[in-house]
């Protein structure tokens, strides 16, 4: 337990952080509290396997960097053409974009060397983007850099989901050759994230599951994906960064594979898997990130109790960080982010 006892004076706002928007959202301000250590130091304690002083809040304690000048980022947020020439279409209902129906960039995966041109990352002015849009980011917060789209997602984007599944079974050699090239390209981007944006962590997107089950077997993951992801995670670690895998859907079966591949953390979909069970079994080896949703017609007191229960169970190991998402149709006056900070400080200090 932490020896730094909680004081109510920590809840005093001593300033605010202005954070650039991400995923197409506007810039926001987050409060700066009178914390006993910086938010960055507290998050680093989680990644170093030390007990944090409070359960990190991904909105309040972390800087998210996903430059809109990256075609993948802008296409996924607003629609348009991504880095590899795939057209994305904005969907107002979900406030996000998807590959435009009927789009197909590759005639066949075996033709990728003839039909694909890999973007030259050095042609973009990363220094200008970092200086103009991200120089105001507070260095006392933990910074992570988001990379779209993962190697499985990229396969489906370039062809189709149906054909991507067939290629996993029928064209492992062509996929391996493509992934070798793609991973090398992502490693270049990882180095850029460190050099220009001073990232502490890479958040790498690769959704691999539907609501009920993963898209493919553990054997396929071990054969095709683990060798590639090991290169990716080793590159991040060599740059002095941590690396997390964002993978939505029910990917419970692949959690041991994520660990074997070298990921430090996993950002998963709330509600698709039993995160309490995953934390109990794998929390010592894999940090959990993501949203913690509060929903339903419940009172503030009930909402706060749900947060307290999460801290006492899933958060007890000090191996997670969450964004509180208040999805209740009628919200009260209680600041749930404050309550997560207050109770986790008390809980981790053993008061």
Distances (CA, A) of 159 to 131, 176, 289: 37, 16, 30
Question: Buried (b) or exposed (e) across 171-181, using 16+ Cβ within 10 A?
Answer: beebbeebbee
Q: What is the pLDDT of residue 322?
A: 97
Q: What is the pLDDT of residue 24?
A: 62
Q: What is the pLDDT of residue 3?
A: 72
* Nearest partner of 209 among 242, 178, 247, judged by Cα: 247
Helix 151-158 to helix 161-170 angle (10° resolution) is: 120
The one-digit pLDDT tens for each residue of the chain (351 residues) are: 457 999 999 999 999 988 777 766 677 889 999 999 999 999 999 999 999 999 999 999 999 999 989 999 999 889 999 999 999 999 988 888 999 999 999 999 999 999 999 999 999 999 999 999 888 888 999 999 999 999 999 999 999 999 999 999 999 999 999 999 999 999 999 999 999 999 999 999 999 999 898 999 999 999 999 999 999 999 999 999 999 999 999 999 999 999 999 999 999 999 899 999 999 999 999 999 999 999 999 999 999 999 999 999 999 999 999 999 999 999 999 999 999 999 999 999 998
Q: What is the pLDDT of residue 2?
A: 55
Task: Look at the block and give the residue holding tokens 């692949």.
Answer: 254
Q: Distance (Å, rounded) from C-alpha 346 to C-alpha 100?
A: 49
Say if strands 96-99 and 87-91 run parallel, antiparallel, or are unpaired: antiparallel
Q: Distance (Å, rounded) from C-alpha 35 to C-alpha 17?
A: 14
- Number of residues in the chain: 351
Q: What is the pLDDT of residue 258?
A: 98
Q: Distance (Å, rounded) from C-alpha 6 to C-alpha 36?
A: 9
Report whether 143 contacts 197 (CB < 8 A): yes
């Amino acid at each position: 337990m932490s020896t730094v006892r909680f004081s109510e004076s920590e809840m005093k706002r001593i300033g605010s952080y202005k954070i650039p928007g991400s995923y197409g959202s506007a810039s926001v301000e987050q409060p700066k509290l009178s914390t006993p250590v910086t938010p960055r130091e507290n998050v680093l304690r989680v990644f170093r396997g030390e007990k944090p002083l409070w359960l990190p809040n991904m909105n309040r304690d972390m800087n998210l960097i996903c430059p809109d000048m990256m075609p993948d980022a802008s296409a996924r947020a607003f629609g348009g053409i991504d880095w590899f020439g795939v057209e994305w279409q904005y969907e107002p209902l979900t406030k996000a974009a998807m590959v435009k129906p009927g789009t197909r960039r590759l005639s066949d995966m075996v033709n990728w060397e003839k039909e694909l041109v890999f973007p030259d990352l050095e042609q973009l002015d990363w220094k200008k983007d970092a200086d103009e849009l991200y120089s105001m980011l507070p260095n006392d917060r933990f910074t992570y850099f988001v990379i779209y789209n993962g190697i499985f997602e990229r396969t489906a984007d370039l062809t189709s989901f149906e054909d991507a599944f067939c290629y996993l079974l029928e064209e492992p050699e062509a996929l391996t050759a493509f992934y070798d090239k793609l991973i090398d390209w992502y490693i270049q981007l990882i180095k850029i994230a460190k050099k220009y944006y001073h990232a502490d962590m890479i958040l790498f997107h690769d959704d691999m599951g539907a609501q009920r089950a993963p898209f493919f077997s553990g054997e396929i993951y071990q054969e095709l994906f683990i060798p590639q992801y090991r290169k990716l995670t080793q590159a991040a670690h060599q740059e002095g960064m941590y690396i997390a895998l964002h993978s939505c859907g029910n990917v419970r079966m692949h959690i041991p594979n994520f660990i074997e591949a070298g990921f430090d953390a996993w950002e998963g979909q709330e509600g698709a898997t039993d995160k309490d069970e995953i934390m109990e079994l794998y929390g010592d080896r894999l940090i959990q990130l993501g949203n913690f949703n509060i929903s339903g017609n419940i009172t503030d007191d009930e909402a706060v109790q749900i947060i307290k229960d999460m801290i006492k169970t899933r958060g007890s190991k000090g191996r997670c960080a969450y964004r509180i998402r208040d999805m209740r149709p009628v919200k009260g006056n209680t600041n749930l982010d404050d309550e997560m900070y207050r109770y986790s400080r008390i809980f981790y200090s053993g008061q």
